[in-house]
Amino acid sequence: MSTEIKLPTKLASLRGPALGAFVGGTVLTLIVSVFSGFQLFFQAFLFAWILVSGLSMGSLALLFIHHMTAGQWSFPVQRVFEASARTMKWLAIPFGLYWLGVLIGFNENYDVWILNEEGSAVVASKSWWLNKTGWLVRSAIYILLSIGLASIFSKWSRDLETTGDALITLKFRRFAPPAMLIYVGIITFAPLDWVMSLEPEWFSTMYGPLFAISQGLTLFAVCILLLDRMATEKPMSTVVSSENYHMLATFMCAFVVLWTYMSFSQFLIIWSGNLPEEIHYYLNRSTGFNQVLIITLMVGHFFIPFMVLLQRKAKYNLNVIRKVCYAMLCMRLVDLFYIINPAFHHLENWGDPAPVPYVDIIAYVSMAIGLTGFWLYFFLGELKKMPLMPKNDPRLYKAISYIDEEVFENV
C-alpha cells in the first residue's frame, strides 16, 4: 500500500498550461500598461488579486466548516481546501510587489486618501484608519494570518495521515471555531482596505460579507470542476458519486441566492437613503457600459444559474453543472470589474454614459488569466503533497458509509 495518491493525469497535465497562462497573461498586461500608463497594471493586478486570493482565503473558511461538521459533502474536496489555502504563501510573492509599490509611492491606487489632494473633510476624518502605515501593516497581517492558519491545519492533517491518531481530529474540532472567527476578521477588513478604500468617502457595512459570499460561490464552482478531473481515476472514481456533485451544486445555488439578496439589499438601502456620501457609488455605476454590466449580472449571476440549479435533475447532471460553474466564474469577473473599474473612472457629471473601457478590459482579463495561472500552478504542486482523500481520518468512514479501507488498497 503506497502512502500517496498521485494526481490524475487530467489534473496533473494542467500545470504546464497554467505556467504558460501566467507568463502570457502577465506579459500582455505589461505591454498594454506600457502604452496606456503603468498605473493600469496595478489596477489590473488588484482585480486579479481579489479573484485568486479569494480562492485561498475562501478555502480557509470552508476548511474550518468541514472540520466543524465533518459532513459527507466536504471529504472529497478537503485536500482541495487545504492545498488552495496553502497556496496563499505563494500568492504572497506577487502581492509583495504590489505592497512594495504602495510603500515607495509607485502604486497610486490609494493616493486619493494617502495624499488627499482634494482636501476632503470626509477623507481626513478617516485618516486614523486610512493611512499608508496602517494599510501596509494590516495588509501584511491579513496575509500572515492566512498563511499561518493554512500551515497549522495542514500540519495537523499531515500528522493525522501519517500516524492515524484520532486525537488529532479533536484538535480540528476545538480550534476550527476560533480560526473561523479570525477568518471573519480578515474578510471583514481586507476588502475594506484593498477595494472599498479606492472610494474613501463611500462605505457599506455589507461589503465584507459580500466578498465572503463571492469567495464561497467561486470556490464551489472551482471545486466541482476540479472534482470532475480528480474523479477520472481510482480511487477517487470509486469514492466520488453523483451525490457529491449534487451537494456542491446545492451549496452553489444557496450562495447564488445569498449573493443576490445581499447585493440588492445594499443597493436598496443606499438608494432609498439617498445620502450624498453613499449614493454616488451607484450613480457612478448606473449609466452607459456599466448598465450592460448590471444587466449581465442580473441575468447571468442570478436568474439563469438560479433557475437551472433550482431543478433537482440539473444538479445531478454533471454536464449541466459544469457549464454553470464556468458561467459563474465568468460572472465573478464581471462582478469584480463592476466593483473595481468604475472606482478609477469617475464621471464628471452624473448621468453621463460611461464609455466602454476596451483597454482596461484587455488588461484586467489578461492579468486575471495570468494570476489564475500562477495560482493553479502552485495549487497543483501543493495538491500533490498529500493523498487526495484523508484515508486515515476515522471521521471519513462515518460520514460516507459506502467507503471502507479496501477502497484505498493497492493505490
Q: Which pLDDT belongs to residue 403?
A: 52
Nearest-angstrom CA–CA distance, 348 and 352: 8
350: CB partners within 8 A, 6+ apart = 280, 283, 284
Cell numbers standing for residue 66: 468541514
CB atoms within 10 A of CB 161: 19
Q: Is a pLDDT exceeding 60 seen at residue 3?
A: no
Render pLDDT for 283-335 as a digit per residue (tens, 0 to 9): 999 989 999 999 999 999 999 999 999 999 999 999 999 999 999 999 999 99
Greater model confidence, 76 or 235? 76
Of the candidates 89, 375, 331, 343, which has an alpha carbon nearest to the alpha carbon of residue 194? Answer: 343
Range in 29-43, 168-182, 340-354 the model is least confident about: 340-354
**Do residues 160 and 392 lie in contact, with contact meaning Cβ atoms separated by under 8 Å?**
yes
pLDDT of amino acid 389: 83
Indicate left, alpha or beta for 274 from its phi (over 0: left) and psi (-120 to 50: alpha): left
Average pLDDT over residues 135-160: 97
Which pLDDT does position 348 carry in this prediction?
77
User: In degrees to the nearest 10, what's the CA dihedral of 20, 22, 23, 25?
Assistant: 110
For the stretch 178-209, pLDDT in tens is 999 999 999 999 999 999 999 999 999 999 99
How far is 86 from 382, CA to CA, in rounded Å?
7
Beta-carbon contacts of 26 under 8 Å, excluding residues fewer than 6 positions away, are 366, 367, 370, 371
- Predicted confidence band at 402 (pLDDT cuts at 50, 70, 90)? low
CB within 8 Å of 369: residues ≥ 6 apart? 21, 24, 25
pLDDT tier for residue 396 given thresholds of 50, 70 and 90: confident
C-alpha cell at position 67: 472540520
pLDDT band at residue 400, thresholds of 50, 70 and 90? low
Q: Mark 257-282 as b/e (b = at least 16 C-beta within 10 Å).
A: ebbbebbeebbeebeeeeeeebbbbb
Counting residues of the chain whose pLDDT is more than 70, the rounded percentage is 95
How far apart CA 403 and CA 34 sit, in angstroms, is 56
Percent of residues in the chain assigned helix, strand, coil, to nearest 5: 75, 0, 25
Peptide bond into 235 cis (omega under 30): yes
What mean pLDDT is reported for the chain? 91
Percent of residues, the chain, with pLDDT higher than 90: 75
Contact, 385 vs 93, CB < 8 A?
no
Q: Report residue 122 as a C-alpha cell.
A: 470626509
Of 117-126, 322-331, 391-400, give the lowest mean pLDDT range: 391-400
Q: Which range is least confidently modeled, 22-36, 130-144, 377-391? A: 377-391
pLDDT at 163 exceeding the cut of 60: yes
- The three-class DSSP label of residue 119 is coil
Q: Is the pLDDT of residue 61 over 70?
A: yes
Which pLDDT score is estimated for 2?
Answer: 41
Question: What are the angstrom distances between the C-alpha of 229 and each of 188, 315, 373?
Answer: 33, 17, 17
According to the model, what pLDDT value does residue 352 have? Answer: 79
| pLDDT of 401 strictly over 70 | no
Helix (H) and strand (E) counts in the chain = 19, 0
